Amino acid sequence: DLERLLSRSIYGSANARDLNAIRETMESVPMLIKALGGKVAGQLSDIRNSMDPCEALVTEIFNAIAEEPPLSVREGGIIREGYDKDLDELRDMAATGSKWMASQEEGERKRTGIKSLKIKYNKVFGYFIEVGKAHLDKVPEDYIKKQTLSNSERFITPELKEREGQILTANERSTALEYEIFCMIREMVTEHSEQLQATARALGQLDSLCSLAELASVHDY
């Protein structure tokens, strides 16, 4: 599928899994070149000389793209930790904020005496504190009512909204930077299109010859 994957890269539709598939295919090329070393028939020699392992590109893809990235390239999780310092810092900021939320939830439970209190998140309201209606008499004065549901009410606090801004900003910047890095790697694949196309053709020819050779050996042609 190397030619198909390359076409997807050239037209900007390849995802991170496609780049990993290109890498995995290209990782076999050095072994094939070695296997075709020494004196071989003219056609096999031509095939060997047509294959380019593109080692720098393969290394870059390996270093950059996560082992099992998601299908989407715009939601994060596609770039390996340690590849980009700025990205790692943004991820740390977001992770620290998430840990703070978990700690804050426990702290608010102790402060209010409401053991069922929860800090939740959704895209409409962001982070909020949810309290069941049976415990509304314990809600502190600094809680600001945000929404009333059938069995509970949702609140925010100034501190909660401040932390929310830090976490969401870090997440958004992190996701945007991941996509930018991914596009850079995909562009590198496009820049190696000539070598990759030649290698794909050579692999196809070698695959055909190997199939015919195996058939001849099995049936003693």
Mean per-residue pLDDT, 31-44 = 89
- pLDDT of 40 > 90? The answer is no
Residue 85's nearest CA partner among 182, 206, 162, 177 is 177
With a pLDDT cut of 90, the percent of the chain lying above it is 85
Question: What is the model's pLDDT at position 27?
Answer: 97
Can you give the pLDDT at residue 166?
Answer: 86
Sheet containing strand 144-148, edge to edge, reads 118-122, 126-132, 152-156, 144-148
Is residue 135 predicted with pLDDT exceeding 90? Answer: yes
Return the number of other C-beta atoms located less than 10 Å from residue 140's C-beta: 12
Can you give the pLDDT at residue 15? 97
- Please tell me the predicted confidence (pLDDT) of residue 96: 86
Q: Give the distance from CA 125 to its chain's centroid.
A: 27
Q: What is the mean pLDDT of the chain?
A: 94
Which of 47, 38, 6, 46 minimizes the C-alpha distance to 25?
Answer: 6
Cβ atoms of 136 and 154 within 8 Å: the answer is no
Evaluate if residue 125 carries a pLDDT over 90.
no
- Give the per-residue pLDDT at 93: 87
Tokens of 111: 């402060």
Answer with the residue of higher pLDDT: 9 or 162: 9
Confidence (pLDDT) at 167: 87
Cβ 90 vs Cβ 177: under 8 Å? yes
pTM of the full predicted structure?
0.77
Q: What's the pLDDT tens digit per position in 70-94?
A: 999 999 999 999 999 999 999 998 8
Q: Provide the pLDDT confidence category of residue 168 given band limits of 50, 70 and 90.
A: confident
Tens of pLDDT, residue by residue over 6-18, are 999 999 999 999 9
Per-residue pLDDT reduced to its tens digit, 94-124: 888 878 888 999 999 999 999 999 999 888 8
Sequence letter at residue 15? N
Tell me which of 41 and 207 has the higher pLDDT: 207
Q: What is the pLDDT of residue 97?
A: 81
> Quick one: pLDDT at residue 108?
95
Amino acid symbol at 157: T
Convert the chain into a string of H (helix), E (strand) and C (coil).
Answer: CHHHHHHHHHCCCCCHHHHHHHHHHHCCHHHHHHHCCCCCCHHHHHHHHHCCCCHHHHHHHHHHECCCCCCCCCCCCCECCCCCHHHHHHHHHHHHHHHHHHHHHHHHHHHHCCCCCEEEEECCCEEEEEEEHHHHHHCCCCCEEEEECCCEEEEECHHHHHHHHHHHHHHHHHHHHHHHHHHHHHHHHHHCHHHHHHHHHHHHHHHHHHHHHHHHHHCCC
